[in-house]
Structures are given as structure tokens and as C-alpha cells.
Amino acid sequence: MKRSRINDLLDEGEDMIRSFGFVLPPFANWTPDAFVAKKDDAAHVISSRCGWDVTDYGAGRYDEMGLFLFTLRNGRLADLQRGGGMCYAEKLLISKQDQLSPMHTHVIKAEDIINRGGATLIIELFGSDDAGNFAENRGGTVWCDGIRKEYGPGEKLPLAPGESITLMPGDWHAFWGEGGDVLIGEVSTVNDDETDNIFRQPIGRFSNIEEDTDPNRLLVSDYDNWLS
């Protein structure tokens, strides 16, 4: 993706987030130079990869397959492993109309996916085999707004604004907006986008960026280059 496109998408995404009454934390608006100046005080933001994320999964087709994210808070894997402390994470996401977030699962993370507003969010579901691999002939069990639901392989569950689904490790899922763009909330256990996204197809988690202009704000994938 071109950096100029990412800059535009960040402005558009923040406008949509604000239109639903969400106000982001102050570091969301830091320039790259401000982040560099404050990197010592912002060590947890940086190490936990809180902040902006725009991905086309390395495929170069953002409008067809992509996702817009802002990680508001993220805990520590060490706390999760010892069973106490900051074991949670929270994100806001935007899934555009017919924009696929491709089939994937997580080994560690359990998550609630919440339609915070906009159009309908479609969740496509498959179960795992005994080794946790994608199983095209298996369904499973999820909770929708706390209500138990059995799903069949490839079942597509629509979530209207205000509705949610709880996904556990081994629930393979893809999603997209139907009828328009969707603002999504995600509340989960500790989030590790570097290692805990297992895709059915061999794709990347982050975008390959063409630096045709300077960044207005840093993405989480920029932190190592700018802030290390």
C-alpha cells in the first residue's frame, strides 16, 4: 500500500469512529516526531503494539481484502501465562462493505466481536480438527450476546448493530460488512498480532508499504523502524 493512501484512510477511519461517539486516546493523534520524543514514557503503548493498523494482508487489494484497526489497550502475555494481571485487550475496527477479513483463527486469543454501528457484520464460521487445523466439514459452538449457538461448517451469522459473538481459539472465522461499512469493537484476551493469527491461506498480517510520502501518524508496524 502507498503511504499516501494509508494517510487518507487514517483520516477517514477516525472520522467514522468519531461519528459513532468514540473519542480515541491522545496518542492516536501524535505525529511521528511526537512519538519519538515521548517514546520512553510511551514504552507500554509501543511494546504492546497499541495504536493504528491498516492492513491489506500483503495482497495489495485493500478494498477487496483488508481491515482498519486501532488497538486501544493491550495486556501482557506474561500476565496471561501466570493467570493474573493485565490479561485483556480492546480494539476498534472498520470493515468496509464487502471487504473481506480472511479466514483465520487464534491459538491463544478468545475474543468478543461486537457490531458497534453501521451496517450488518457477517461472520463466516468453520470448526477445527483435533489438531486445531481448519476443518471444512466441522462446525462448533459460539455464544451470541451470551446465548449458546451451534453453527454448521461455513455458516454465515449476521450481526446487527449492538449484537456480538464470542469466538474461542479454534473457531475459524472470516468477516465483512454487508450493505455498508461497519464499526466493530473487539474485546479479547491479550492480543499478539505477530504470532497469534493463523490464516487458512498463506498471507501476511501486515501491509507492505510504499513510502511515496511521509507518514502523518505511525502504524504499529512502523514502531520498530521509528522507535527502536
| β-strand partners of 135 | 127
- Mean pLDDT score, 46-55: 97
Task: Summarize pLDDT for 119-166 with one digit per residue, the tens.
Answer: 999 999 999 999 999 999 999 999 999 999 999 999 999 999 999 999
Q: Tell me what pLDDT residue 9 has.
A: 98
Q: Tell me what pLDDT residue 228 has.
A: 86
**Stated pTM of the model:** 0.96
Domain range for 145 is: 3-227
Task: Summarize pLDDT for 101-125 with one digit per residue, the tens.
Answer: 999 999 999 999 999 999 999 999 9
- Mean pLDDT score, 86-110: 97
- High-pLDDT (> 70) share of the chain, %: 100
CA atoms of 130 and 127, how far apart (whole Å): 10
Closest by CA to 86, choosing from 4, 190, 16, is: 190
Q: Tell me what pLDDT residue 69 has.
A: 98
CA 162-84-128 angle, 5° bins: 55
Secondary structure (H, E, C), 99-160: CEEEEEECCCCCEEEEEEEEEEEEEEEEEECCCCCEECCCCEEEEECCEEEEECCCEEEEEC
Q: Tell me what pLDDT residue 184 has.
A: 98
185 near 178, Cβ under 8 Å? no
**Which band of pLDDT confidence, cut at 50, 70 and 90, is reported for residue 30?**
very high
Q: Tell me what pLDDT residue 133 has.
A: 95
- Mean pLDDT score, 28-36: 97
Query: Total domain count for the chain?
Result: 1
CA atoms of 136 and 154, how far apart (whole Å): 7
| β-strand partners of 127 | 135
174: domain CATH number is 2.60.120.10
Residue 151: count other Cβ atoms within 10 Å of its Cβ: 22
- Mean pLDDT score, 198-210: 93
181 near 204, Cβ under 8 Å? no
CA atoms of 175 and 153, how far apart (whole Å): 15
Using the Cα atoms of residue 218, residue 223, residue 225 and residue 226 in order, give the sign of their dihedral. positive
DSSP letters, 36-87, are HHTTTTTHHHHHTT-EEEEE-TTSS-TTTB-EEEEEEEE--HHHHHHT-S--
Looking at the predicted structure, is the pLDDT value of residue 89 above 90? yes
